[in-house]
Structures are given as structure tokens and as C-alpha cells.
């Protein structure tokens, strides 16, 4: 997050770090590549582009064993008091995620075990059920560039038609947020993380042109557009093992 302020994980207890297991085993924290948002005791919502690395369509998703999820910790390199590592049982990425347009940039990460809620540093965030009005002030947070330390920023939802003009057509499955004067924005390493409006998961950090640049607000997956998809993906998960 550029232009924000440092925070502790207690401020965003729904936020987790999504990591490449192999790199994290070499050095704890080195595998961080994306964020995610806890939406239930077993499910983290993130971006499809964090799990489909090649430029193929339809997308091919990586092995769940390649990833770990770390919750409850403010810092990438330490567990702190309540940090916890979760293995991944299944990744359900959107079947129509497009690597060039980044349309349908959403994935559910199904954890191998239940998040212990008594570790009060991790909690679920409700999904936005309705569109949010332009001008609404929302929160972004993550460990992304330039600080690689957990930061939070406040950004307004931008007018859809303006964003559509700026980016030469933006589908309704994407929304953009940020100031036209730039300054506060998500950045590399914040992908998959939450855009929170009115205490609900409204957007997923997806893409943009640079970070915090004027006239280029960040682009987010429009969560309310994918409620049915989330419901369907969630009901296909196999909870019987635990």
C-alpha cells in the first residue's frame, strides 16, 4: 500500500498472507506473494492471478500444496503472539479468469484446517451484497510495495464511467477506487487483498497502472458481482475430511 499508514493485524483481523511454500521454507516471509481475506472458518477469498501463473486461457491453477496461508501476524518474517500457518486443501479459481484482461480475478482458497476463532487476531469479513456508491470511502490494506510491512489506506470508490474511460472499458465485474490525484493505492504484493467498504468485502486487489499514480485508480474485482459464483464454489468444497 502506497500513501497509507502502518497498522497492526488486529486492525484487519480478516487479512492473511498467501505464500509460496517453497520460498517460505527457505526464509519465513520470503514466500509472500499475495493477500487474502478470511470469509469463513475454512475459506479465504483471493485473486485468481495469484494461483494461475501462466498466460493460458482457460486458466490452469497451481497445486494447493505449493501454497501456505499465514494469519494472525502483523509481520511477514515473524509469527508474533498469534501467528498461524495453514496448509491449503483446495484452490478454486474462477474458470473464466482471463490473464490479459484480468476479468474474473477471483479465487477461493480452502484451508486444510479450521481457523481457531479463539485466536482473536483472525476473523471472517462479511461479503458485500450490494453495489457501493461512488465516493464511498473504503479501506485497503496489505504487505505490498513499497514498504512490505502491513499498511492501510483510505480510498474512495470511483465513478464507473470515469474508470471505464480511463482504462478504455472496464467491465461491471471490476470496480476502481482511488483519488484522481493519486497518492494512496494498492501495489505489487497487495494483490488478492481486501477493499473494505461499510465493513464488508467489496473488492479484491487486482491490477492497475503503477501505484498511486494520478488519473490511474486501482482496479478491484467487484465482489458483489460474484456472490453466486462464491456460493457455488463454496458448496463444491469437501468439508467431510475434518
Active site residues: 49, 105, 191
SS3 content of the chain, % helix, strand, coil (to 5): 15, 30, 55
User: Which span (23-31, 55-63, 81-89, 207-215) binds ligand 4AZ, by CB under 6 A?
Assistant: 207-215
d(CA 64, CA 237): 13
Q: Is 185 in the site for ligand 4AZ (CB under 6 A)?
A: yes
- 42 secondary structure, DSSP code: S
Q: Give the shortest CB-207-to-ligand 4AZ separation in angstroms.
A: 6
Contacts of 11 (CB under 8 A, 6+ apart): 141, 152
Q: Is 24 in the site for ligand 4AZ (CB under 6 A)?
A: no
Q: How many CA atoms lie within 13 A of 166 on its CB side?
A: 21
The nearer residue to ligand 4AZ, 191 or 202, going by C-beta atoms, is 191
Q: Which of 44, 59, 218, 230 binds ligand 4AZ (CB under 6 A)?
A: 218
Q: Which of 28, 110, 207, 226 binds ligand 4AZ (CB under 6 A)?
A: 207
Q: In sequence order, what are the beta bridge partners of 93? A: 107
Q: Is 46 in the site for ligand 4AZ (CB under 6 A)?
A: no
Q: Is 188 in the site for ligand 4AZ (CB under 6 A)?
A: yes
Question: Please, are residues 98 and 57 in contact by the beta-carbon 8 Å criterion?
Answer: yes
Q: Which of 44, 205, 223, 233 binds ligand 4AZ (CB under 6 A)?
A: 205
Amino acid at each position: 500500500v502506497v500513501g497509507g499508514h502502518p497498522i497492526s493485524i488486529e486492525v484487519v483481523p480478516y487479512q492473511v498472507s498467501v505464500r509460496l511454500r517453497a520460498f517460505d521454507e527457505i526464509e519465513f516471509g520470503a514466500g509472500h506473494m499475495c493477500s487474502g481475506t478470511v470469509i469463513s472458518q475454512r475459506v479465504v477469498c483471493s485473486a485468481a492471478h495469484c494461483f494461475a501463473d501462466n498466460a493460458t486461457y482457460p486458466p490452469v491453477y497451481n497445486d494447493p500444496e505449493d501454497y501456505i496461508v499465514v494469519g494472525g501476524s502483523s509481520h511477514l518474517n515473524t509469527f508474533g503472539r498469534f501467528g498461524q500457518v495453514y496448509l491449503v486443501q483446495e484452490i478454486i479459481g474462477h474458470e473464466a479468469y482471463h490473464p490479459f484482461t484480468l476479468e474474473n480475478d477471483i479465487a477461493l482458497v480452502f484451508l486444510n484446517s479450521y481457523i481457531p476463532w479463539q485466536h482473536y487476531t483472525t476473523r471472517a469479513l462479511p461479503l458485500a451484497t450490494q453495489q457501493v456508491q461512488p465516493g464511498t470511502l473504503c479501506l485497503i490494506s496489505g504487505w505490498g510495495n513499497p514498504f512490505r510491512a502491513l499498511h492501510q489506506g483510505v480510498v474512495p470508490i470511483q465513478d464507473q464511467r470515469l474508470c471505464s474511460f480511463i482504462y478504455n472499458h472496464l467491465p461491471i465485474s471490476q470496480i476502481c477506487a482511488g483519488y484522481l490525484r493519486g497518492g494512496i493505492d494498492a501495489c505489487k504484493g497487495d494483490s488478492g487483498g481486501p477493499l473494505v467498504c461499510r465493513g464488508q468485502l467489496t473488492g479484491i486487489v487486482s491490477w492497475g497502472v503503477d501505484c498511486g499514480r494520478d488519473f490511474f485508480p486501482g482496479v478491484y474485482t467487484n465482489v458483489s458481482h460474484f456472490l453466486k459464483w462464491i456460493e457455488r464454489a463454496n458448496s463444491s468444497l469437501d468439508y467431510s475430511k475434518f
